[in-house]
Structure formats: C-alpha cells, structure tokens
Amino acid sequence: MSTCVRVALAWACLLGCGDSASSPEDESARDAAIGGQGRDASAKDAAPGAAPNGDDGGGAGGSRSDGGDPPASDSGANEDECAATAAGALHELLSCTGLYADIEDKRIAPGVREFAPAVQLWSDGADKQRWIFLPEDTQIDSALSDDWKFPIGTKLFKEFSHAGRRIETRLFWKVAATRWLRTAYRWNETETEAVRFDGGDIDVAGDTYHIPTAKECDQCHKGRDDRVLGFEPGLLGLSGATGLTLSELVAEGLLTEDPALTALEIGDDGTTKAAAALGWLHVNCGVSCHNTNSAAEGYASRLHLQLSAEELDGRTSSAFPALESGVGVSARTLRWTGRIRIVPGSPEQSLLYELANTRDPSRPKDQMPPIASRITDPDGLRALEDWISSMPATAPSVEPQ
Ligand code: HEC
C-alpha cells in the first residue's frame, strides 16, 4: 500500500534532524528568550532598547506591543520594576506580565481567561492551569482551522504545580506578526512572586524538576506556525475542555470565522477504542512534532499524529493520517530497521508503544517524547494498549520487509 512507503526517520528525528525547513523565525535568536545570563529579581537593568528578545521574527516589526496590555499587578510592590522594562520586552517578574491583578491573592486580572484543553500533554503528573489574554476588541483569525492566527498582544500562560505548590509559570506573548516572546517564571518558596528563569534542573521537594530552556520551548512550539499548541479548535471543542471553549469563543464573537460545529468528537475506527488513543497521540505527539508543518521536529518522519479539527465531526477515524502513517507502517530509521510503528493486535511489538513506554535519560532517542518527561503516562499507555490490542491481528496492512 502506498502509505507503507511513507516512512519514518520518525521518532529518532525529533532530536537530531535540525531545521531543514524554513521557520518564520530566526533560530539563532531563540536562546535569548529565556535569557543568556543569570538574573535576580530586579528588572531595573532592563534598559529601553536593550530589551531581551525572544524569537526573532526575521526583522518583521519591532518589539512594540500594540495589543493593549492587561493592567499589571496592583499589589504595589513591583510598580517600579514593571515600569522599568521596555515596552514589548519580557518582564523579570511574573507580577508585571498582566496575568494577575494581585499576585499575592492570586487574583487574575480582568480580561485574562482560563481555559483547559480537552486532552492534555502529559507532564509527569504536574497539575497545570492555563490562561489567555486577547487584547480588547480583537479576534482570532480562524480562517485556517488547524492554524489559527492570534492578534498581536495575545498572551498565553501555563502554570505548573507539584504536590499543591506552584513551581513555574510559562508565557508566550505575541509582540509582532511573526514574533513571539517566551519564557518561564520560577515561583519563590512563599508563592508571592515568580522570577524569570533560564531553564534547567531544579530541586522540588527532593525530586529533580526540569524547567525547559528556550530551545526546548521551541522544539515543541515551532510545530505550529503561530506557536500556540493547546488553544486550538480540536482541543477546545472536544468534550472535557473547560473555561474559554470553542462554543464560548463563538458565542463571544472572538473568531473571525465560526466553525461548522462547536461540539467535536473523535470518531471510532471499528475498535471502539480509537478516540482516547488518537486524542492522546494528538496532544502528546501530533500538535508539536509529528505533523505536516515543515518546521515541526518530527516532520521528516511522515508519521502524522495530529488530528484535523475539520475531521472531528464523529466520522470514522479509520482513514485518519495517524492510522495511515502508523498502522502497519515500517520505521525507516536505522536503529529501528524492521520495526513496525503499530502492529495490529500487539502493543508489545509496536515501536510506537515501546517508545511511549520507555524512559531512560541515558538513551533519550529511545523514548517518546524525547524531552520534558522522565515518567511514563499510565493513562496514556493504557489507552494506546487498549486501542492496539483491539485491532484485528489479521489486518492485512503490515508491510512485508
Ligand atoms: C514537550 C513539548 C513542550 C515543551 C518543551 C514546551 N511546551 Fe508549552 N505546550 C506544549 C503542548 C503540547 C501544549 C498544549 C497542551 C497542554 O497545554 O497540555 C503546550 C501549552 C503551552 C502553553 C499554553 C498555550 C498553548 O500553546 O496551548 C503555554 C503558554 C506554553 N505551553 C508555554 C511554553 C513555554 C514558555 C515553554 C518553554 C519554557 C514550553 N511551553 C515548553 C508542549 C511543550
């Protein structure tokens, strides 16, 4: 079958393939976003015009934000620090970013909206909360359903907690048409403030916790042209999404084009188990790396695990790209010669399942995803196992070697 030849540098490519394809950004600038030098809690050295840049939009636009920022914290203590940062540059303190009206009370600023995608990226069991700020009187350009374009000034936040304690809050901030700044803020012990952190391992209650570097943010987030991975129609339209969902976006007139449906559904493929597995593969592997965007790290694999929102109307999933490029299809990477990505009926023989079920820091290329996880996802693995086990083992799709 033709899909069998659409092979797979696949998984191994995630770490090593580099950026053969063009990206709207200049990767040479990527390390600047989380910073190249150590920082303390002061932002007073952030001279106007010398602002730390994140992604470089290839010279497009300046670092001006015309989006109309949400008001900075009114908790008082940091007003000088907030004001000292050049307009359109990353603040050193989370309290200056506009997420909170009062960071000590954890009061979210007006205009900042909480959301949660229906299916979430596994982050080794961390609890996560997410928010979006869209500048007043703007809309998301939703003409391309799998590639929404956000208005300049958009900010997205994602907070990570471990055992009930806030650890870090990440920010993506669109400052020009093709330019996003991104960083992480590390919370202090008393959870009264969080300060920009360049990324790296930290100790959390005796465990090692990794805050991604800017380069690591990009490894995942460059998989979509406008960077945003979870605030997308599929994940906001499937059941389980909360806060600012797809139907809420339509009701509030926040999209330039309304989708045909706002209550989405992943159809079955005859196994009765496809929806959970495909949803998991979509958010854990597809939105970031294994998709058709030529900038995505897993693009060269031609293993396409991203679901298209337009196909989530309950129709059968048996012809979805994830099945066509996964089931019975060989991996081409040398280290996996002879391995089939998904062997119907046999999770244990399926390379995809094996990599999702492996965590070994000494062999990062033998685990999936290759970064940002040291613990396997029990629910995700169960969904994959149930799905693959339920496929008829006699399926004729296994490619002969
Ligand atoms: C392993 C891949 C990966 C890495 C590394 C990563 N992210 Fe993400 N991020 C995702 C995925 C997938 C989502 C959407 C799913 C979810 O939130 O559960 C997401 C969601 C987000 C969101 C919410 C908006 C959105 O895109 O849905 C923010 C903000 C964010 N990430 C910021 C960052 C920043 C800043 C960094 C680096 C410090 C980073 N992320 C590193 C994969 C990653």
Q: Which domain holds residue 15?
A: 10-19+47-221
The answer as to whether 36 is a domain residue is no
The answer as to whether 204 is a domain residue is yes
4 with 399: CB under 8 angstroms?
Answer: yes
Q: What is the dihedral of CA 117, 120, 123, 127, to 10 degrees?
A: 50
The answer as to whether 26 is a domain residue is no
**Residue with tokens 């330039």, as numbered in its chain:** 256
Ligand 1 atom nearest residue 289's Cα: 2
The answer as to whether 91 is a domain residue is yes
Residues with CB under 6 A from ligand 1: 117, 120-121, 130, 156-158, 170-172, 182-184, 212, 216-217, 219-221, 228-231, 283, 287-288, 369, 371-372
User: Tell me, what's the pLDDT at 112?
Assistant: 98
Backbone angles phi, psi at 176, to 5 degrees: -160, 175
The answer as to whether 353 is a domain residue is no
> What does the DSSP 8-state code read for residue 285?
I
293 with 221: CB under 8 angstroms?
Answer: no
Give dist(CA 194, CA 95) in Å, integer.
Answer: 7
Give dist(CA 395, CA 231) in Å, integer.
Answer: 36
Distance 345 CA to ligand 1 centre (A): 33
The answer as to whether 70 is a domain residue is yes
Task: Give the global pTM.
Answer: 0.85
How many C-beta atoms lie closer than 10 Å to residue 143's C-beta?
Answer: 11
Count of domains forming the chain: 1
> What does the DSSP 8-state code read for residue 400?
P
Give dist(CA 29, CA 47) in Å, integer.
Answer: 19
238 with 314: CB under 8 angstroms?
Answer: no
The answer as to whether 374 is a domain residue is no
Distance 156 CA to ligand 1 centre (A): 10
- Residue 394 pLDDT grade (very low, low, confident, very high; cuts 50, 70, 90): low
Of the candidates 299, 144, 296, 132, which has an alpha carbon nearest to the alpha carbon of residue 230? 132
164 with 129: CB under 8 angstroms?
Answer: no
* Region class of 130: left (phi > 0), else alpha (psi between -120 and 50), else beta: beta
Of the candidates 267, 281, 210, which has an alpha carbon nearest to the alpha carbon of residue 238? 267
User: Tell me, what's the pLDDT at 1?
Assistant: 36
Residue whose CA is closest, atom 42 of ligand 1?
220
- Residue 42 pLDDT grade (very low, low, confident, very high; cuts 50, 70, 90): very low
| 344-387 confidence digits (pLDDT tens) | 999 999 999 999 999 998 888 899 999 999 999 999 999 999 99
Of the candidates 331, 329, 304, 318, which has an alpha carbon nearest to the alpha carbon of residue 390? 318
The answer as to whether 296 is a domain residue is no
- Whether 392 has a pLDDT exceeding 90, the answer reads yes
Of the candidates 186, 190, 158, 218, which has an alpha carbon nearest to the alpha carbon of residue 33? 218
Give dist(CA 179, CA 200) in Å, integer.
Answer: 24
Looking at 118-132, 323-337, 376-390, which range is the least confident one? 323-337
